[in-house]
């Protein structure tokens, strides 16, 4: 079975989906690995992949057309989907709820499309949870970016010239990224507060040494996948009103709130930013899905009312070596779980809950029940 890995073409993508170490492990399972020339970008040389047993293919079209499985990080172009052979499996991030034309194209050409972000976030699938591994790094990077932009020090300092107060950090959203942001800010010596609509995370916030802010919003909670449930318009307005005070006292705000498959909720308004101290910093981790912060721009740093708003994309890619290692490990565990060791091939076991969760199209049809229900609801 031939596994082909094309080079990422998205300009802001610095990660790779496969490392030489994981390539070697897959080859030991019986896979043939073929990679596009210069796949490793600045992280790995072609010779390192060759030493692991992989074959270098300089022709991208041949690479794609001969693949039994295509592995990549970013979603493909519609043109590239048409070049894949019928029955090929394509595994990558796909953003299926917002890519109708892409999903239709996979179905049209008979491609088995697997969406990495749709892998169920369960204990069984923990080792293949790409969202958690990358969010963990993004939370760390967010704090480091804020520290680099902030014009004061993070920790309390007693100096001959006087005492320097610690930075006040507010983290909105205590999921994987938020919890790592809390831990990183605490290590740097900041005073940290956190807010989340899910009361269940309060204990985790306290365990990291941060204060958990409570806002009475009525009924909230989390989905079976562990995501925060979408708030009503009234709840959002109530949250914004209460958050204005907390924001005005913060030096740094990290926002991480996202609703899976939907546009990110707007949590920080222009009026709230106006009430913040000049020189404060906001890092919007949800900018790629619409943004939590009014005035944040994808891939840019903006200044609003004297407050720096960082809307950089792909934060995990700023620590691309570790991000790539984690992605490759996630991918290996996914492939190895469904690898038939006798036939030496990957098997799409559609009776398995993990495959049911992440398989989007198969045999010229949309097969994912969640996506099918959404399509039916919108038609």
3 state SS of 127: helix
**Residue holding tokens 């610095």?**
14
Q: Which residues pair with 57 in a beta bridge?
A: 36
| 110 CB-contact burial (10 Å; exposed 0-12 / middle 13-18 / buried 19+) | middle
Contact 315, 322 (CB under 8 A): no
3 state SS of 183: helix
Contact 169, 144 (CB under 8 A): no
**Residue holding tokens 């989906």?**
17
Structural domains of the chain ordered from first start: 2-118+338-369 (3.40.50.720), 137-318 (3.40.50.720)
Residue 20 structure tokens: 């030489």
Contact 320, 76 (CB under 8 A): no
Q: Give the helix ranges, DSSP H, for the chain.
A: 20-29, 46-52, 60-65, 78-81, 100-108, 130-149, 176-187, 202-207, 233-249, 270-274, 320-337, 353-358, 369-378
Residues carrying an active site annotation: 121, 126, 129, 132, 227
Look up the pTM and report it.
0.91
Q: What is the residue-level pLDDT of the chain in tens, covering all 379 positions?
A: 999 999 999 998 999 999 999 999 999 999 999 999 999 989 999 999 999 999 999 999 999 999 999 999 999 999 999 999 999 999 999 999 999 999 999 999 999 999 999 999 899 999 999 999 999 999 999 999 999 999 999 999 999 999 999 999 999 999 999 999 999 999 999 999 999 988 889 999 999 999 999 887 666 545 555 455 566 777 777 777 888 889 999 999 999 998 877 889 899 999 999 999 999 999 999 999 999 999 999 999 999 999 999 999 999 999 999 999 999 999 999 999 999 999 999 999 999 999 999 999 999 999 998 888 766 655 5
């Amino acid at each position: 079975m031939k596994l082909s890995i094309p080079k990422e073409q998205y300009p802001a993508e610095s990660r790779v989906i496969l490392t030489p170490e994981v390539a070697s492990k897959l080859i030991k399972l019986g896979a043939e690995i073929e990679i596009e020339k210069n796949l490793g970008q600045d992280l790995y040389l072609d010779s390192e992949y060759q030493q692991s047993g992989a074959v270098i293919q300089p022709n991208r079209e041949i690479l794609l057309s001969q693949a039994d499985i295509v592995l990549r990080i970013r979603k493909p172009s519609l043109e590239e989907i048409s070049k894949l052979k019928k029955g090929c499996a394509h595994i990558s991030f796909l953003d299926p709820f917002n890519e109708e034309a892409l999903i239709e194209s996979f179905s049209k050409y008979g491609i088995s499309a697997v969406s990495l972000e749709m892998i169920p976030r369960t204990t069984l699938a923990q080792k293949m949870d790409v969202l958690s591994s990358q969010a963990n790094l993004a939370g760390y990077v967010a704090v480091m970016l804020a520290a680099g932009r902030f014009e004061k020090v993070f920790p309390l300092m007693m100096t001959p010239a006087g005492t320097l107060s610690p930075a006040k950090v507010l983290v909105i959203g205590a999921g994987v990224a938020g919890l790592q942001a809390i831990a990183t800010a605490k290590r740097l010596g900041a005073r940290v507060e956190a807010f989340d609509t899910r009361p269940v995370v309060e204990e985790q916030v306290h365990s990291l040494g941060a204060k958990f802010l409570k806002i009475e919003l009525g009924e909230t909670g989390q989905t079976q996948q562990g995501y925060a449930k979408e708030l009503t318009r009234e709840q959002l307005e109530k949250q914004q009103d209460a958050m204005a005070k907390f924001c005005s006292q913060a030096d740094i705000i990290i926002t991480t709130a996202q609703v899976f498959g939907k546009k990110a909720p707007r949590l920080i308004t222009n009026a709230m930013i106006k009430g913040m101290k000049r020189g404060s910093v906001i890092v919007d981790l949800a900018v790629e899905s619409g943004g939590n912060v009014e005035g944040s721009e994808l891939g840019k740093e903006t200044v609003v009312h004297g407050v720096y708003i960082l809307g950089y994309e792909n934060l995990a890619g700023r620590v691309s070596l570790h991000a790539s290692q984690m992605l490759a490990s996630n991918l290996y565990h996914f492939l190895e779980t469904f690898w038939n060791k006798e036939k030496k091939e990957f098997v799409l076991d559609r009776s398995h809950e993990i495959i049911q969760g992440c398989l989007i199209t198969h045999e010229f049809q949309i097969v994912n029940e969640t996506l099918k229900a959404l399509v039916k609801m919108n038609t």
